[in-house]
């Protein structure tokens, strides 16, 4: 791969571009100079940068702004909601969305965790929620609503959060329930994302790559969470962050430094080196 250079760089946000706040399920909303500069070198080369996250669209455009991703005058591609939504920005324009009937899966989970919180995106505003989420975990405005009303119509994603449970509790729960007709991802905490079957960051990126005429072999993807596994496996080179859980590291082509060490910038620098550096030090 010594002469390889990605044509598209797919980047997770939380735990990859943004550092986690210790002990909380939220990120510092600041981009380090090293990460900003590395992303700019990708753009300067003519390659594409695509943010790919479980975040809702309105929580991703702010990160695109911090990275100055639209400084080259073209609309960006953004993969949101773990692949269920693809948008162009700016302005924010949804160009692809996959929805599903979440009622059976939500009912099955709540039967086991009746006190769990439920959230569904309210496009462009924030979220409709069954109750207050822990501070900082959901961006935008939250609107209290009845769960049955929230999932009465097809949705692109449902978040279920139980502050009293652990991530391991939710891994076991999802495996035991089966959740037929629904895909799921468990986060760092007791946070369960329900999504349409077959939808992941990989499927969202596949859609973008097809629009751009780019083969997945020419994609570099970097991430740290369980919701990054399909993306890292799909990309020509999938790289796990140094603090990722073992199941993510095990499927990755390589492991870079931690987010606190600007691991994303380190990996990008191998293929898009700063002036005077060698790059591609594998």
Task: Give the CATH number for residue 60.
Answer: 3.40.50.1000
Whether the predicted pLDDT of 282 surpasses 70: no
Same domain membership, residue 206 and residue 83: yes
Same domain membership, residue 91 and residue 212: yes
pLDDT in tens, 199-225: 999 999 999 999 999 999 999 999 999
Same domain membership, residue 263 and residue 207: yes
70 lies in a domain? yes
- Contact between 236 and 219 under an 8 Å Cβ cutoff? The reply is yes
Same domain membership, residue 178 and residue 120: yes
Beta bridge partners of 76: 89
124 lies in a domain? yes
Taking the C-alpha atoms of residue 144 and residue 147, their distance in angstroms, rounded to an integer, is 9
At 70 the pLDDT is 87
Structural domain including 220 reads: 8-97+199-271
Same domain membership, residue 159 and residue 115: yes
pLDDT in tens, 187-205: 767 788 898 999 999 999 9
Same domain membership, residue 87 and residue 134: no
pLDDT in tens, 77-133: 999 999 999 999 999 999 999 999 999 999 999 999 999 999 998 887 789 999 999
Same domain membership, residue 225 and residue 91: yes
Please tell me whether the overall predicted TM-score, pTM, comes out greater than 0.85 for this model.
yes
Sign of CA dihedral 30, 277, 45, 229: negative
Residue where one domain finishes, among candidates 170, 196, 222: 196
Taking the C-alpha atoms of residue 136 and residue 115, their distance in angstroms, rounded to an integer, is 20
Same domain membership, residue 192 and residue 134: yes
Q: What is the mean pLDDT of residues 225-251?
A: 96
At 24 the pLDDT is 47
Same domain membership, residue 136 and residue 212: no
Q: Per mean pLDDT, which range of 19-23, 45-49, 274-278 is the poorest?
A: 19-23
280 lies in a domain? no
Same domain membership, residue 132 and residue 87: no
Q: What is the mean pLDDT of the chain?
A: 90
Taking the C-alpha atoms of residue 171 and residue 54, their distance in angstroms, rounded to an integer, is 17
116 lies in a domain? yes
2 lies in a domain? no
Taking the C-alpha atoms of residue 7 and residue 170, their distance in angstroms, rounded to an integer, is 37
At 181 the pLDDT is 64
Task: Give the CATH number for residue 107.
Answer: 3.30.1240.10
240 lies in a domain? yes
Question: How many domains are there within the chain?
Answer: 2
Same domain membership, residue 170 and residue 87: no
Residue where one domain finishes, among candidates 161, 177, 196: 196
279 lies in a domain? no
Residue where one domain finishes, among candidates 167, 196, 225: 196
Same domain membership, residue 16 and residue 91: yes
């Amino acid at each position: 791969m010594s002469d390889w250079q990605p044509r598209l760089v797919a980047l997770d946000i939380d735990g990859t571009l943004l550092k986690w706040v210790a002990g909380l399920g939220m990120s510092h909303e600041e981009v380090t100079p090293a990460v900003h500069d590395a992303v700019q070198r990708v753009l300067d080369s003519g390659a594409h940068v695509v943010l790919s996250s479980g975040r809702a669209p309105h929580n991703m455009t702010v990160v695109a702004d911090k990275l100055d991703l639209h400084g080259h005058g073209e609309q960006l591609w953004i993969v949101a909601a773990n692949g269920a939504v693809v948008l162009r920005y700016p302005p924010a324009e949804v160009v692809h969305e996959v929805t599903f009937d979440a009622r059976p899966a939500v009912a099955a989970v709540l039967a086991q965790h009746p006190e769990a919180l439920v959230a569904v995106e309210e496009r462009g505003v924030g979220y409709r929620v069954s109750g207050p989420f822990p501070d900082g975990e959901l961006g935008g405005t939250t609107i209290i609503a009845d769960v049955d009303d929230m999932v009465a119509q097809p949705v692109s994603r449902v978040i279920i959060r139980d502050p009293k449970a652990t991530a391991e509790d939710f891994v076991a729960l999802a495996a035991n329930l089966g959740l037929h007709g629904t895909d799921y991802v468990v986060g760092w905490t007791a946070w369960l994302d329900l999504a349409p079957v077959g939808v992941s960051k990989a499927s969202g990126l596949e859609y973008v790559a097809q629009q751009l005429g780019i083969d997945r072999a020419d994609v570099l993807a970097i991430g740290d969470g369980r919701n990054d596994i399909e993306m890292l496996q799909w990309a020509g080179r999938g790289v796990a962050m140094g603090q990722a859980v073992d199941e993510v590291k095990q499927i990755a082509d390589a492991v870079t430094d931690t987010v606190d060490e600007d691991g994303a910038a380190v990996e990008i620098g191998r293929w898009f080196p700063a002036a005077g550096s060698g790059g591609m030090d594998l």
